[in-house]
Amino acid sequence: MLPTLPHFADSIVGPANLIFHRRFLEPTKMAIIDGLRGVDVTIRVDGQTATEHADPDAAAAGDAGVCKTSSQYIECKDKAKFTVHLKVTKDYAWGHRNHSLNIGIFIDGEYAKGELCREGDTLFQPWERDVSHRTIRLRGNQPGQQDRYVAQAFEFSSIKKVDDAPDERVAREASKAKNLGMIEVKFLRCIESGGADVAPQISREQSTEFATKALKGRGTSHMTSYSPPTPTTAPHYIKCNNLRADNGPIAIFRFFYRSKGNSRFLPLLPMMPTGAKPYTEGLIAEAIIPRAPRARSITLVGLSEEQIRALATEALERRSVVSGPEYPAREYEADIYVQKPGPGVKQEFKQEPRGIKRECGQGETVDLTGEKDPPLRPYKVAKTVAGKEVVDLLDDD
């Protein structure tokens, strides 16, 4: 069972430009949890709503036992401030024992701030809170000096990796690294039991440096840092007892923040629509993909490189004649079928009339040198409009 979270009866609304919004209607802008109406959590970075990408490794938003969960990826930017925006409407099912909602916000695995929402807060208008900072307590430097309360805004900071870190540091930071790059909002049902004399957490030193080995295998690129402290008043806490029957949160919203160039974030970016043809400087990409080289005919074995080049040049010249603008089409085609005689049989040639096609065997070659037996495979003879005949040595048919 999770410990009772401290809460503010009232919260300081952060600047309008520090909002990080999250709703549940559009898949690309907000997450949806089936069966949990009237509860919205959104996140904005520098005043812009963060586009959400569903976590491919998590189950679809919905039930995970008793607790309903949603996991989304969002893009973060270095040094950008962000705000967690909470919203509860009268559509939420308030019926159970006149409870309140105990809302805890955790960033990088550490408690940042809490809020409390009552049913009466949603009767006439939605209850909303902008959580853009944490409140901490600074101890007095001198004996007898009172502690001071300060607020620190949330902002993203890139992680600085340290290669040569001792094993003790790697082990210590590996545990903390598991929760880096995650904003988690937990909703618990609770019963209020009056005021509580609870002080905010004490300020702790924070560093954006982590051992490289501690981050091994993780796509984490950023963590949350906090702005310089600004003096604020002491918060007012209310003591709450979470409902034991729930055995923990009724809903958890997780936001994994990554930089756009991060390897873990790139696969989540929108892909090109199915059927769309990619273009490269106006050219269809398919047109510039090189074809696999054709296998060299066995009849070329034994020829010198110069002879092979001469044959190739001649063949290309003939192909350009056949397909050039001067000869737009072939009027007639004839296949010359050469039958190879058996041992002791006189060789005979048979030529079919023009316009009649004959099938030939598979895997046969044409001897371009004329030094061997007549070819087994016919080659195309094209007659042009001018009455000339040309032979296409590279015909693929």
**Residues 186-203: tens digit of each pLDDT:** 999 999 987 776 777 777
3-state secondary structure of 43: strand
The pLDDT score that the predictor gives to residue 277 is 41
Cα-Cα-Cα-Cα torsion 159, 15, 28, 226, nearest 10 degrees, comes to 10
Query: Any idea where the domains of the chain sit in the sequence?
Result: 16-268, 298-392
Amino acid at 61: A
DSSP, collapsed to helix, strand or coil, labels residue 286 as helix
Q: How far is residue 152's CA from residue 110's CA, in Å, rounded to a whole number?
A: 14
**Residue in 95, 113, 91 with CA at minimum distance from that of residue 104:** 113
The pLDDT of residue 230 is 92
Greatest Cα-to-Cα distance within the chain, rounded to the nearest angstrom = 123
Say whether pLDDT at 89 is over 90. Answer: yes
Strands (E), 89-181: 100-107, 110-117, 127-131, 133-138, 148-158, 160-162
For the cut 80, the answer to whether the pLDDT of residue 264 exceeds it is no
- Type of residue at 58: A
206 CB neighbour count, 10 Å cutoff: 13
User: What is the model's pLDDT at position 80?
Assistant: 93
Instruction: Check whether 248 has a pLDDT greater than 60.
Output: yes
Mean pLDDT of 248-255: 93
In which band, very low, low, confident or very high, does the pLDDT at 26 lie, cut at 50, 70 and 90? very low
Rounded distance between C-alpha atoms, residue 228 and residue 202, angstroms: 15
- pLDDT of 133 higher than 90: yes
| Dihedral angle sign, alpha carbons of residues 52, 54, 57, 58 | positive
Q: What is d(CA 9, CA 114) in angstroms, rounded to the nearest whole number?
A: 9
Supply φ then ψ for residue 251, to 5 degrees.
-155, 145
Residue 389: what pLDDT? Answer: 60
pLDDT for 323 equals 44
**Per-residue model confidence (pLDDT) at position 59:** 62
Q: For position 292, what pLDDT does the model report?
A: 41
The token pair at 11 is 């919260």
Q: Which two tokens stand for residue 287?
A: 């047109």
pLDDT, greater one: 115 or 390:
115
How much of the chain, in percent, has pLDDT values that exceed 70? Answer: 55
Residue 125 confidence (pLDDT) above 50: yes
Sequence-ordered list of residues with C-beta below 8 angstroms from that of 50, at least 6 positions apart, any chain: 20, 21, 22, 43, 44, 74, 75, 255
Q: Is the pLDDT of residue 349 over 50?
A: no
Give the integer Cα–Cα distance in Å for 366 and 379. Answer: 8
- Cβ partners under 8 Å of residue 82, min gap 6: 18, 20, 43, 44, 45, 46, 76, 132, 154, 155, 156
Of 251, 256, 239, the residue nearest 88 (C-alpha): 251
Average pLDDT, the chain: 70
Going by C-alpha positions, the residue among 269, 184, 261, 186 that lies closest to residue 224 is: 184
Average pLDDT over residues 60-84: 80
- Listed in sequence order, the residues at least 6 apart from 315 whose beta carbon sits closer than 8 Å to its beta carbon are 393, 394
Residue (of 391, 394, 393) closest to 330 by Cα position = 391
**Residue 81: is its pLDDT beyond 90?**
yes
pLDDT value of position 309? 78
pLDDT confidence tier of residue 167, bands split at 50, 70 and 90: confident
Per-residue pLDDT tens over the stretch 28-37 = 456 556 678 8
**What pLDDT is attached to residue 65?**
56
Taking only the tens place, the pLDDT of each residue in 213-232 is 778 777 788 999 999 999 99
Tokens of 166: 């001792």
